[in-house]
Amino acid sequence: MPKRSNFIVLLLLFIGIKLALAESMNSNTNLYPGETLQTINQTEVLTYFRPGDPEQPTIIFIPGNSHLARISYGFPDGKEDDFIAYWLHKQGYPFLAISYPLENPIFKKTYPDYTLQNWADSVIGATQKAIRENKLSNEIIVVGWSMAGELTPVLETKADEAGLELSLFIGLSPAVPLYNLQPVGDFFEKLTPLSNGLANTMQFSDFFVEMKSQQEKQHGHTIIPDTVYTTQFIGNCPINIMGTSKRYSHQEFINNLADTLHDGHAEDITEYPHIAVIHGNPGSDLDYVQYSNYDWGSIILRKYDSLCTSYEQNHNPLTNPLSELIKTIDGNHMFFIGKENATTTAKTIDKLIKTNNDILNKIHRICVKHSK
């Protein structure tokens, strides 16, 4: 009996050591507090969640080109009130930030053939999981920065299929998801595939750092140290989610505009959600912001107008909603970082949500009256 007991003890000890080693190997020391690295549809996704009022819509933040969503919530040694997650949480909104997989130590592998459809699946899958685990409302507000604008029509379709109510997409200097309206310029012309198949977007890291530094000068302190920013916030990016005609195929980039349009469904106005826009100063933000307001304005008006075929005479609520739905905040393409601007951005987001609801209520009221 003693020998058998010793054997069982040794066996349990061995199993315990193996489990501990497995847990150690699977742990990711690069994760920040509140972050989770999860796999959705066989793709790694980095998420960060802050709870809020479960009756409020959940705000989903999606980052732009080459950036993790950390740009919305910061890093452990930073000032949390320099970032919009802190202020949106104070307003009571549940907040979920979702990072697509780029080349960064946080991810175990790269995904060079990652598409807009894949990106939308990652967002919707992570959102469903957060809603289910935290017993949240099915209503979501997506806040997408820069390149995340490419996702607007795809997200609307995917959210609807998943039973989620995407009531508003708020773009922070968002790219318009139409190729012929997307600036090409040197940025896209210089993109070539790396050995891992990703686009070499880190060649522009100095430009990203300069944008960040300008916001730091505006606020009078370092928001994210350069070393932290370049190693923990950014990385090389999949080409297929950039909305250009360049597509990844067998270790090289090819031109395939038809594939890009099919991937993004950009040409179908009925597939867009309701949209509002916040951008930086026209002279400080990226060049395309100066004319994208016209593009977004057309999409915003046509989306509202599609809700009702006719209104009572002189009661069309769409007389001039764009001044209430397209806002400017002092700053460049990263206008939403830094305490003052993060606060203003969060307040503007809250205001845009209320404005959109007011317009929808007016449309519903006038249409119902007219049909009687």
For the segment 221-231, what is each residue's pLDDT rounded down to a tens digit? 999 999 999 99
Q: Are 328 and 278 in contact (CB under 8 A)?
A: yes
Asked if residue 31 is part of any domain, the answer here is no
Asked if residue 14 is part of any domain, the answer here is no
Q: Are 85 and 61 in contact (CB under 8 A)?
A: yes
Q: In what order do the strands lie in the sheet with 275-279?
A: 35-40, 43-50, 95-99, 58-62, 139-145, 165-172, 275-279, 326-328
Asked if residue 225 is part of any domain, the answer here is yes
* Number of neighbouring beta carbons within 10 Å of residue 305: 14
Residue ranges, the chain, pLDDT below 70: 1-27, 179-187, 288, 290, 309-320, 368-372
* Number of neighbouring beta carbons within 10 Å of residue 55: 10
Asked if residue 21 is part of any domain, the answer here is no
Question: What gap in Å lies between CA 67 and CA 46, rounded to an integer?
Answer: 12
pTM > 0.85: yes
Asked if residue 9 is part of any domain, the answer here is no
Asked if residue 8 is part of any domain, the answer here is no
In this structure, what CATH number is given to the domain that contains residue 225?
3.40.50.1820
What tokens appear for 231 in the block? 């190693």
Asked if residue 333 is part of any domain, the answer here is yes
Query: What stretch of H or E contains 339?
Result: helix 339-371
pLDDT at 27: 56
Question: What gap in Å lies between CA 362 and CA 207, rounded to an integer?
Answer: 44
**Which among 279, 356, 372 is positioned nearest to 318, based on CA atoms?**
356
Asked if residue 155 is part of any domain, the answer here is yes
pLDDT at 184: 52
Q: Are 278 and 329 in contact (CB under 8 A)?
A: yes
pLDDT at 284: 83
The per-residue pLDDT for range 263-322, each reduced to its tens digit, is 988 777 778 999 999 999 887 887 767 678 888 888 888 888 787 766 555 555 566 678
Counting every residue written for the chain, the total comes to 372
For residue 162, the enclosing domain spans: 37-371
Total of domains in the chain: 1
